[in-house]
Amino acid sequence: MIFTSTETIFVRVYEARMDLLRAVIVGPAGTPYHDGLFVFDVLFPPNYPSVPPMVYYYSGGLRLNPNLYDCGKVCLSLLNTWNGKKTEMWIPGKSTMLQVLVSIQGLILNAKPFFNEPGYENMYVGEDGERRSKQYNEDVFILSLKTMVYTIRRPPKHFEDFVVGHFRQRAHDILVACKAYKEGSQVGSMVKEGTQDVNEHEMSTSHEFKEAVGKMMKTLVTNFIKNGSKDCEQFQVSA
Active site residue 71: no
Beta-carbon neighbour count of residue 224 at 10 Å? 26
As a whole number of angstroms, the longest Cα–Cα distance in the chain is 56
Question: Taking the chain, what is the end-to-end CA distance rounded to the nearest angstrom?
Answer: 41
Which residue in 71, 75, 178, 232 is the catalytic one? 75
Positions marked catalytic: 75
